[in-house]
Amino acid sequence: MNKNDKPLKGKVALVTGAARNLPAVIARELAASGAAVAVNDITAEEELRKVAAAIQEEGDRATVVIADVCRRDQLEEMVAQVKSALGTIDILVNGVGPFALEPFLELPEETWDRVMDANLKAVYLLTQLVAPGMKEKGWGRIINISAGSADLRNHSVYGLAKSALRFLTQSLALELGPAITVNAISPGQIAESALDISAYDPTFVERAINYTPTGQLVTRREIARMVILLCSPAFDSVTGESIRMDGGWSIPRW
């Protein structure tokens, strides 16, 4: 195996929401690329430990950190645990992003708080905690998972939160350069999506495929590979971007 097979060897990554779905795939891809990976979740500890075990079975380093990403005290403890187990965090992937599409006039206040806090407050809190270590080392990568819903005005509080996350991504990129780059990935409908969007719109997936120039939906693996690329020297000059991965679905038609 040559050195290019493990481009992130020596780096430490933290992935939030990594018990399942896209963040779990990202965590495993980071590990396969050489990074030591801390996986975080709060509601699915058994699944989270399975993700870490799968990484370790491949001979890579992983640790489990249980924390509510909306609680500063728990995040402070989590970052300290990662540092103790793996070292200072070099790569932060903000994968937590709860979904809700209830109309605003029917949206419970607690749902608003949960979606906005996990998608935005968590990113701000974790960035405050990990950025100093990245700056001290002279290198850091923060990658936020936005969504195609950010382009839609009928996707309720979820679209609002993901749109605001793009704004926050650019603001952080301005504050944290040059040592740290901050980017977002905005997937369209994901092929293996666990979201039961059919409960809100039974025809959405079929229409999305038909409307997409590539004729197919993006996969979790493709998104995870983009995370690796954003951590590579080829993307050293890319910051403040929200990279759409939707097969051209969002291209304006009129």
Q: For residue 182, list its beta bridge partners.
A: 142
* Residue of 124, 158, 200, 211 marked catalytic: 158
Exposure letters 154-165 (e unless 16+ CB within 10 A, then b): ebbbbbbbbbbb
CB 191 within 8 A of CB 221: no
SS3 218: strand
How many other CB atoms are found less than 10 A from the CB of residue 102? 14
- My answer on whether omega of the bond before 23 falls inside 30° of 0, hence cis, is no
The dihedrals phi and psi of 193, each to the nearest 5 degrees, come to: -55, 135
Angle between helices 220-230 and 21-32 (to 10 degrees): 50
CB 17 within 8 A of CB 23: yes
For residues 97 and 115, give the distance between their C-alpha atoms in angstroms, rounded to a whole number: 7
Sheet of strand 140-145: strand arrangement: 62-66, 36-41, 12-15, 91-94, 140-145, 180-187, 242-245
Annotated active-site residue 158? The verdict is yes
Write out the catalytic residue numbers: 158
